[in-house]
Chains A and B, each alone.
Chain A
């Protein structure tokens, strides 16, 4: 039996961080006190102290609680975006793998056109057409993100298709559907799991950026980009109002990026059919 690699301190730290951030995203809104979402102008701009660990913002709301509550719109929306476009990518790549070559070519030309559309520009277009909101940013990012995934997966399924076990299944008369679902995809999707984590990291930055420039989540949402946008006028007097959500974005992006690296290390090669003789 092959021994699993030991859990190093660094890896464990990343897992704990990701778990904490996910917990904040899922339970943050439920746990946050009522005051997190209502204004109390009398207590505005209190610097960090024992009661408000990260101070209060322009509306007198506790910054730490807002950052925790903001995990939901910031992280869950990013995960939603990446999950949607990954699924679209899987469907497109799977189709391209099973259809005749000319249609495969056509689909891949289509993805090249898709590649040329920058998500940020499309998001701005959506914002002006539908009105700026987190939903319009999520839709725009979801429908522009898939081409890279589709192309990556197509190049992997191309390799998997010529693996001897896939050819053997073809010789055995396995249907195309079964060939894809039992043989090709299970041995091709490892990379997507790794990519998913890295993409969440990037998408958090982009969605935060969109909110910051005003085409994503709108105040009073606790979305981190929106919080920074809201705080930018007071940076010189109340730096914590911008620094806290900024740090949250950075920490989350780095955590998911590192998670991707760890998955790469642990999953990478698991599906590969190596095994050299000495």
Chain B
């Protein structure tokens, strides 16, 4: 009819794009920019958080830690008292400083980083130099520090609670300090002939000879074992006699060397990571780790390759389509929820009667009894039964409704057209 209709639109386009400014403007509107901006902010927040927490010291009794479990307060107090405090995490340095007879050596080893020979060497160095040694919470290793003392275990449980401990011994520092916080650990003298051990601080119900603090005289100097780190930490230093005990024990000399054992100290030989991974990892060649790490840039490259879409998605405006029979389904739902069995069955019966009447060629305005009679005659069924199905009472339950409806369907199938 017309060529113009056949070729509806025939377009030519040149791939000239929009100007730079327009592209910047439309780019700012696209979500990519904002997603990238959100990622940058998130990354900055993470880096900031990590760098902040990275410098924060949280190890227990550490001299720089101001956390409740830290030890900054006691160090500050000692310094205020004119005691020169030097700190170290290196075993070698600690061993070197221990040889100074004018300094008290404080050792705190919460992770049990020191081996037995390290402990004994440190002790013998300090004792040999005549320097007092103070050990905090050594646990079972107490014997290495103080040869006449062992950790003691209560055979009978006390009444519980944490009443302050009274000194109850001859050590004048403890007597001056008075009561201190309760401690979970107890130590006792081994009872050897040549040792002079003073045991202080115990609850009244403790076994005789048990105490939270021991002080052993050893070759002209002393080894003091403090059974609780809580006495020294920031949170509890100010409680009852804690501070006095700490200052008395640590302030015997003009200076203090505080050695806090670090498990990652190179002096202990192999690092803990290697022990953790086990020796089998030494068998893996280095190129394997390179290849494994190289999967990261490779993965990024693959994502860039697969992630770039070949042009935008093709979109289409489709004509509207309404689901079929939705009003009927809605009406069925209303009938069922309302339990309208009588009206549902009435509808089914009416429809069946109309169909039966037309199949039996009855006049269009036949009455129900006439149709029932004709159906009964046709199917040779009991007329009362047919009457009950097609004009009986309303059903009392859904099961009865289904039964009657099924029976009507069967009856209809038995009636063939004349």
Q: Do A and B bind each other?
A: no
